[in-house]
A and B are shown apart, each in its own frame.
Chain A
Amino acid sequence: MNGILRAAAVARKDLRVEWRGRQTITATGMVALLMILLLGFVVGSEPARAAAILWVAMGFAAVLGIPRVTQGEVDQQALETLLLYPGSREHLYWGKCAALTVMLSALLIALLVLLGVLFGVDVWDHAGALVGVGVLGVVGLSAIGTLLAALVLHVRGRELLMPLLLLPLALPVVLGCVRLTEAILTGTAAGLWPAVLVSFDAVSVLVCPILFEVVMEEV
């Protein structure tokens, strides 16, 4: 119970700081918007291509936004204070992961609306299924992203390292979400992709908090 309260406090704090600073949302939103406009212009705005454009934009936006998950603490010189609070560091992981999930979800909703407007995709008709895929994708990205944000915390050139680590690791998430979204929008079979996504999320959610504790053992 105490752990849940601590995780909730971290998530609330991160979201409050983000709401007042709007650094992550602004940066990720701008990148995602540019990606959608650029890719839409290059590959065309047919609804069948919307799935790939949506999740590639999400992936690149996540690359930009995820380092902010822990960078804020470093900038504020508050990381040591945070780590010295008693309790498992898994609680910090869950709090930060929850905050990142909320931020990426907000971004995804905005992008889905944009996709509906620009690509003529009938988002509302498929809202339930798209939200389901969105949840799987955002949870996977957040679970891995929170761990990687801790991993690159004190690495010089982390802006370069983050895409090199996140994009290959998150490939199953992005690929699975593209295939599932495509299947929803075109009415074709999804195959094994739901199982792949669920398995990937389950493994990430089980393993990443443990690794986070190891990574944050000493800073």
Chain B
Amino acid sequence: MRNDLDVSDDLSAVSARGLGRRFSLQWAVRDVTFVLPPRSVLLVVGPNASGKTTLLRLLATALRPTDGGGSVFGRDLVRDANAVRVLTAFVGTSAGAYDLLTVRENLAFAAAMRGRPDAPVATWLDRVGLTPVADDPVRVLSSGMKRRLALAQAWLAAPRLLLLDEPYGGLDRDGLALVAEMTEDTTRRGGSVVIATHEWERVMNAADALLALAAGRPVEVGPVAQLTAADLAAAAAGRR
């Protein structure tokens, strides 16, 4: 049931119930309710400042909800935040890597912090095309290579929920294929992927569901299959 957001909470990969987050008096995200089944890809679209990144950070437990709640594979975002972190990997817009460490050292650090100190770092470097620069410090890498490193840091955790915030920035064709491969790999393992992006055309064929936000509120929630390209464009612009 890949294109159905109405599965029960028990079967869900992600469940959000009136999820909201306020910064001072300003709501960044409000009244977001959806249920995402396992093996699904959710595309989150919306204009700038629509709350896409805040929503991903809420699901990653980087932020606590001000209102409502949610769960990831049955684990509550607030009460079981650590269990959610075990299941989740979040790739933000920055690489989250240390400039003075080499690519290999950064990846080994991520593996150790994920409780996988014996992870085959060399294999992961090869998989994301970073072997030639494995012993270079991160500060000399291009933004695309840094993005690949961020993807590898998340991927090696074999997450059940992968949260990607604007994952296509700076990536070449091979890098874009890497994001697609990572998405497929996660869903094949029974996990789900949430992708927030302005470049929705890149992922619309792989996405099962759409959540469009405007000014922090959902304006469209539903299966992608029922939407035309024009609907998607309007939703991404926050006009639905």
Contacts and interface: CB of A to CB of B under 8 A. Distances in A.
Interface of A: 2, 5-6, 8-10, 13, 16-17, 20-21, 72, 76-78, 80-88, 217-219
Given A78-B97, A80-B62, A218-B63, A86 B112 contact: no
A16 B94 contact: no
Nearest to B83: A86
A84 B112 contact: no
Given A13-B109, A83-B62, A218-B64, A78 B115 contact: no
Interface stretch (B98-106, B204-212, B225-233): B98-106
What 8 A-B pairs come out closest when comparing CB atoms? A81-B96, A9-B112, A77-B94, A85-B113, A86-B85, A86-B86, A20-B100, A78-B96
B200 interface: no
Interface string B140-184: 000000000000010000000000000000000000000000000
Contacts of A219: 62
Contacts of B64: 217-218
Contacts of A77: 94-96
Nearest to A19: B100
State which size class the interface on B falls in: 20 to 34
24 contacts: A5-B115, A6-B112, A6-B115, A8-B112, A9-B117, A16-B100, A20-B137, A72-B98, A76-B99, A78-B98, A80-B57, A80-B90, A80-B92, A81-B90, A81-B92, A81-B96, A83-B62, A84-B61, A84-B88, A84-B90, A85-B110, A86-B85, A86-B86, A87-B113
B131 to A, nearest CB: 21
B153 A81 contact: yes
A17 B60 CA distance: 27
Nearest to A219: B62
Highest count of chain A CB atoms <10 Å: which of B97, B100, B117: B100
B24 to A, nearest CB: 14
B114 interface: yes
Contacts of A21: 100
B114 A86 contact: yes
Interface in B52-73: 57, 60-64
B100 A6 contact: no
Contacts of B92: 80-81
B183 to A, nearest CB: 20
A5 B115 CA distance: 8
A14 to B, nearest CB: 9
Contact of B109 (A9, A20, A83, A88): A9
Contacts of B115: 2, 5-6, 86-87
A85 B114 contact: yes
A18 to B, nearest CB: 9
Nearest to A8: B112
Contacts of B98: 13, 17, 72, 76, 78
B62 A218 contact: yes
Nearest to B99: A76
B48 interface: no
Contacts of B90: 80-81, 84
Given A78-B98, A82-B96, A87-B115, 8 more contacts: A5-B112, A5-B115, A13-B109, A78-B94, A80-B96, A81-B96, A84-B85, A87-B82
Nearest to B100: A20
Contacts of B95: 77
Contacts of A217: 64
A36 B34 CA distance: 63
A85 B153 CA distance: 11
A2 to B, nearest CB: 5
A155 to B, nearest CB: 17
